[in-house]
Amino acid sequence: MRTRKQELGDMNIIGAKVEKQRKAIGMKQKDLLAQLQVSGIDLNASGLSKLEGQLRGVTDYELKAIALALDVSVNWLLGIDE
């Protein structure tokens, strides 16, 4: 897996956790994108990369679908349940 070349942005607070959990469970970006599509979230590879890099915001619909796809709670993604 490639390492991030660019520093994290400040457009969301979940991006780093999304990337960390996705990699921890051995999921590729394309696999996460496919699961999000099934949930009705139309996100492309560039959008997911920007989300993980905290360079774009996240909608509440995306937040819920990402939590389900990664089998984590929304609270964990938000840093409420550590």
- The CATH architecture that domain 15-78 belongs to is Orthogonal Bundle (1.10)
pLDDT at 32: 98
* Domain residue ranges of the chain, discontinuous segments joined by +: 15-78
53's CB contacts (< 8 A; 6+ apart) are 4, 6, 8, 9, 15
pLDDT tens across 22-75, in order? Answer: 999 999 999 999 999 999 999 999 999 999 999 999 999 999 999 999 999 999
